[in-house]
Amino acid sequence: MLNWPASVLAKTLRGLSRKLLFTVPNGCACFCDTMCLDILRQRKKVLLLLLLMASGSIFYYLYTLKLERERDANVSSTTSRLEREISDLQAVFESEVVPQLGALGRPARGNWTTEELEAIAKSQRETGYNAWLSKRISPERTLYDMRHRSCKKLKYPLEKLPSVSVVITYHNEEASVLLRTLSSLRSRTPVLLLREIILVDDGSSSVDEKLNDFLQIKFLNMVKHHRISTQVGLIQARVTGANLALADVLVFLDSHVEVTHGWLEPLLAPILTSNRTCTTPIIDTIDYETFAYRRGKPSRGFFNWQLNYIQLPLLKEEAVAMPAPHKNPIMNGGLFAIGRQWFAELGGYDKGLKIWGGEQLELSLKLWLCGGQILEVPCSRIGHLYRDGNFQIRYTDKDKNSEKKLIQRNYRRVAEVWLDELKDKVFANMPHLTVIPAGNLAEQRDLRKRLHCKPFKWFLDHLAADFLNLYPIIDPAEYATGVLQSVSSPKLCLDRTESRPGRPKLSSCSGDRVFPRSELHWTLTNHRELQSGLLCLEVRNQGMEVYIYHCHRQKGNQFWSFDPKTRQVISGQMQDSRLCLEVQPEIHAVTTGDCDPKNSKQQWKFGYQNNERLHHFWDNVKTH
């Protein structure tokens, strides 16, 4: 190569290098020597290396392009699979929704066909509410804002309020009802305040995997669904839920509720002020037939001497201060907010309480007597679906009698631990409680001592002077007592045993008329009620139908009088709304009818009547 003229060589190399996009530096062509050629050789190598690298990059680029295409194809097939799954689940749970049905909480009505009406009746027989209709009402339905005007103007410092864990337990609840509960929570609770919803399935008879999947899709990680495989009852299920909770405040709700606009902030504000406060909302009613949302009244909860939950009217000063929060002696039980720490200090619920009932008394008494308080907050409203009163809910597969005993055992525990000497007043009304073993009470009694809880008498003195007027510890003489015998069919006496659900019947007046067997024993009480055992006679449906129900001491549909002259047993306090109890001997039932002194079917005889007391029956009673 050295024999070639340098200029030719340089030209050839320059041409080559240009072809390969490689420039030979100026002057190299003129003075190219051995060193120059070395450089050129080395550059050739570099050139080759670069070539290799470039083609490698191209291959790599093409390869990643292929991978990306494959991934895109996978993603889009997964997305469409997910979309398909979501729409399949939506079809299962929401395909029957009729837009606008029941919107604004209005009664959901329609021109149902005969088959549809049959399906409605069937669902009501099975669940105690119109589950057929519930499926057709949107889980996201709107509600009318029923709050007191001034509630709407109140402002709360969201950043200062604690966040909440909502705990809901359920046993065999209808999915559509459950979904409406959760949807109302999601849409009407500030995100900042709602840390989580802990949904505890308390051993429902079947596991609905589809519902679980749908909840994950619809509520993402807001709902934590926890299943207890064997039913432990609402009381222990709530404790399980509370133990899983992370937020500072717990809100307990039933599984068939709808929360309304601004429900949470007013419940939290009093807890922020004093952390031993438990708050309750006003409970509105969701109608079990039409799902109409109806306004509930503010009230002070209490219990009677048979430990039934009752409502007392607000004290005068509380009524004037409405809608300011007021003291609530006994909570209704299902819907309340409480600090997580305070609930734990109180030991949650008594671990010996089983399945259902009595826990609202236990927690309320414990709260008040051990240094806390319960406030009802009228600016917070939550609707609760009350089942048909004639429907007997069964929460265990034990027979009806042993289920009843479980509840009575709960009551006995509460009376033994919290009512001091006044437990005897309860046992006198419910002697059957004393034969039911209460189980070990040591832990509860220790807790009462450890927390230096006050005596029960304090509770009565401080919270319910009016209660003792209505439910005195020593009962005054009654107006009349013994059997209630029909004059026109003298063999028949009123019997509190149910013929149809909730209805009394007529049966043969055997034995002693003044001290008959307990089912035939009626008393026209000092409260002007017709009472037998724990039950009172009451009228429903414009006074036309006669039922038995626990005595509420609110007069109204349980007000009865006896006219010794005409022998009529008369329902109603006001003169223009009175109806007379009438015997229907053919069907062994009683009804009411317009009062007619000549109608012998409306005449009755008590085993014993206290004429002196009856003479003063209408003293101080408003009649129009």
Least separation in angstroms between residue 613's CB and ligand UD2 is: 37
Residue 139 or 357: which CB sits closer to ligand UD2?
A: 357
- Find the residue with minimal CB distance to Mn ion: 254
Residue 90 or 285: which CB sits closer to Mn ion?
A: 285
Find the binder of ligand UD2 among 134, 299, 328, 332 (CB under 6 A).
Answer: 332
Stretch that binds ligand UD2, among 18-26, 30-38, 143-151, 356-364 (CB under 6 A): 356-364
Site string for ligand UD2, 440-479 (x = CB under 6 A): ----------------------------------------
CA neighbor of 456 nearest in space, from 421, 499, 424 = 421
| 300 touches ligand UD2 by CB under 6 A | no
Q: Give the total of residues touching Mn ion (CB under 5 A).
A: 1
| 356 touches ligand UD2 by CB under 6 A | yes
Residues 380-399 contacting ligand UD2, CB under 6 A: 384, 393, 395
| 254 touches Mn ion by CB under 5 A | yes
Find the binder of ligand UD2 among 123, 124, 277, 360 (CB under 6 A).
Answer: 360
Least separation in angstroms between residue 93's CB and ligand UD2 is: 18
Q: Which residues contact 522 (CB under 8 A, 6 or more apart)?
A: 481, 482, 483, 484, 494, 496, 530, 531, 532, 537, 606
Residue 201 or 254: which CB sits closer to Mn ion?
A: 254
Cβ contact 325:279 at 8 Å: yes
Least separation in angstroms between residue 243's CB and ligand UD2 is: 15
393 binds, among Mn ion, ligand UD2, none (CB under 5 to 8 A by kind): ligand UD2
Residue with tokens 């549909």, as numbered in its chain: 557
Q: Which residues contact 454 (CB under 8 A, 6 or more apart)?
A: 369, 370
Cα distances (Å, whole numbers) of residue 130 to 120, 176, 286, 391: 6, 11, 11, 12
Cβ contact 310:304 at 8 Å: yes
Find the binder of ligand UD2 among 128, 233, 266, 298 (CB under 6 A).
Answer: 233
Query: CA 545, CA 531: separation in Å to the nearest integer?
Result: 17
Residue 9 or 283: which CB sits closer to ligand UD2?
A: 283
Q: SS3 sequence, 355-412?
A: ECCCHHHHHHHHHHHCCCEEEEEEEEEEEEECCCCCCCCCCCCCCHHHHHHHHHHHHH
Angle 557-485-565 from CA coordinates, rounded to 5° = 75
On the 0-12 / 13-18 / 19+ scale of CB atoms within 10 A, 322 is middle
Stretch that binds ligand UD2, among 182-190, 209-217, 331-339, 558-566 (CB under 6 A): 331-339
Residue 403 or 416: which CB sits closer to ligand UD2?
A: 403
Q: SS3 sequence, 448-473?
A: HHHCCCCCHHHHHHHHCHHHHHHCCC
Phi, psi dihedral angles at 43 (to 5 degrees): -60, -35
259 binds, among Mn ion, ligand UD2, none (CB under 5 to 8 A by kind): none
DSSP state of 314: P
Query: CA 320, CA 325: separation in Å to the nearest integer?
Result: 11
Cβ contact 416:423 at 8 Å: yes
Query: CA 207, CA 188: separation in Å to the nearest integer?
Result: 29
Cβ contact 610:480 at 8 Å: yes
| 284 touches Mn ion by CB under 5 A | no
Cβ contact 379:148 at 8 Å: yes
Stretch that binds ligand UD2, among 30-38, 330-338, 455-463, 513-521 (CB under 6 A): 330-338
Residue 254 or 258: which CB sits closer to ligand UD2?
A: 254
Q: Give the total of residues touching ligand UD2 (CB under 6 A).
A: 24
Find the binder of ligand UD2 among 93, 129, 132, 170 (CB under 6 A).
Answer: 170
Residue 570's DSSP bridge partners are 561, 580
Residue 363 or 548: which CB sits closer to ligand UD2?
A: 363
Q: Which residues contact 59 (CB under 8 A, 6 or more apart)?
A: none
Least separation in angstroms between residue 245's CB and Mn ion is: 20
| 169 touches ligand UD2 by CB under 6 A | yes
Stretch that binds ligand UD2, among 85-93, 349-357, 371-379, 571-579 (CB under 6 A): 349-357
Cβ contact 312:302 at 8 Å: yes
Stretch that binds ligand UD2, among 83-91, 98-106, 206-214, 230-238 (CB under 6 A): 230-238
Contact residues: ligand UD2, CB under 6 A? 169-171, 173, 202, 231, 233-234, 237, 254-255, 283, 332-335, 355-357, 359-360, 384, 393, 395
Contact residues: Mn ion, CB under 5 A? 254
